[in-house]
């Protein structure tokens, strides 16, 4: 078991961002954390990478509690990026290589080629789509136990999305890595997922294997998600 959340509650002041979450994530599988904006997806990812800590409960990675140091074992793509505008693409990759011991420069170079990024271009002059691609390159190039992606498709056009999905499938090391994607864009990643986890105002309201949903209920993840969200609204 790679990542485990046990009885996790996270409060910000009086507001509960996450409410008694119990989830476990195994390597070799791809999970989708699905929910509208503000449902607690990002908070959950931050707990997994040690950027914030549970108010109640425990988060463990390979059996050890997640701490600030856990970011060494977890690659995390945030909605923001922290690139230096004056660096070129290549300098950015080299810089990341100098910051993370697990950064695989060879993989990064392959990915740059794969995603048609020009290494000599300055970060400042990258289009939004190419900046999104560069974020993915720097995340996927780390040989970590877990890869967490927070809204990787946000604001990117369909062509960029496809190339991102493609690179995910090509470069994830399924033997050793767990991939968790938080998004509200369900259709984009449906066929990638092993499991879908639905989050609604800080609660996990459902967890299903994507193929079981189709086999037993004849539902796509989006249909399932709409159905259980509606039930929440009524209940």
Partner 1 sequence: MGEDFQASKPIYMQIVDKITSEIVQGKRQTGDKLPSVREMAVQMGVNPNTVQRTYAELERLNIVETRRGQGTFVSDNKDLTEELGRNMQDEIIQSFIQKMEEIGVDRKQLVALLQQYLGEGQ
* 182-201 footprint of partner 1 as x/- string (CB under 8 A): ---------xxxx-------
* Distance, CA of 72 to CA of 50 (rounded, Å): 10
Q: Find the shortest distance in angstroms from Cβ 3 to partner 1.
A: 18
* 23-52 footprint of partner 1 as x/- string (CB under 8 A): -----xxx----------------------
For partner 1, the binding residue among 122, 184, 214, 226 (CB under 8 A) is 214
* Distance, CA of 40 to CA of 200 (rounded, Å): 8
Question: Hunting for tokens 């697990």 — which residue is that?
Answer: 102
Question: Hunting for tokens 């190419």 — which residue is that?
Answer: 130
Residue number, 21 or 111, with CB nearest to partner 1: 111
# of chain residues touching partner 1 (CB under 8 A) = 22
Binding segment (CB under 8 A) for partner 1, from list 70-78, 89-97, 103-111, 212-220? 212-220
* Distance, CA of 10 to CA of 227 (rounded, Å): 26
Helices (H), the chain: 41-49, 89-99, 105-114, 128-140, 158-171, 186-189, 210-212, 221-234
Cβ(181)–Cβ(172) below 8 Å: no
Residue number, 66 or 221, with CB nearest to partner 1: 221
Q: Residue numbers of the site for partner 1 (CB under 8 A)?
A: 28-30, 161-162, 165-166, 169-170, 174, 191-194, 210-211, 214-215, 218-220, 223
């Amino acid at each position: 078991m790679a990542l485990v959340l046990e009885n996790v509650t996270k409060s910000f002041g009086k507001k509960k961002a996450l409410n008694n979450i119990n989830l476990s994530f195994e390597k070799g599988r791809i999970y989708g954390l699905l929910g509208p904006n503000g449902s607690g997806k990002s908070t959950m990812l931050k707990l997994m990478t040690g950027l914030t800590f549970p108010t109640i409960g425990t988060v463990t990675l390979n059996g050890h509690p997640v701490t600030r140091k856990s970011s060494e074992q977890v690659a995390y793509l945030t909605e923001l990026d922290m690139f230096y505008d004056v660096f070129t693409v290549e300098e950015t990759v080299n810089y990341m290589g100098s910051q993370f011991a697990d950064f695989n420069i060879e993989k990064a170079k392959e990915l740059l080629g794969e995603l048609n990024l020009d290494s000599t271009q300055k970060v400042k002059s990258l289009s939004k789509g190419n900046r999104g691609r560069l974020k993915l390159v720097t995340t996927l190039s780390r040989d970590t136990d877990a890869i967490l992606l927070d809204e990787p498709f946000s604001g990117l056009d369909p062509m960029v999305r496809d190339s991102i999905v493609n690179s995910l499938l090509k470069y994830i090391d399924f033997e050793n890595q767990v991939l968790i994607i938080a998004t509200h864009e369900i259709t984009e990643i449906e066929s990638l997922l092993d499991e879908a986890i639905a989050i609604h105002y800080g609660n996990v309201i459902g967890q299903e294997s994507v193929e079981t949903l189709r086999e037993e209920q004849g539902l796509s993840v989006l249909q399932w998600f709409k159905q259980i969200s509606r039930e929440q609204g009524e209940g």
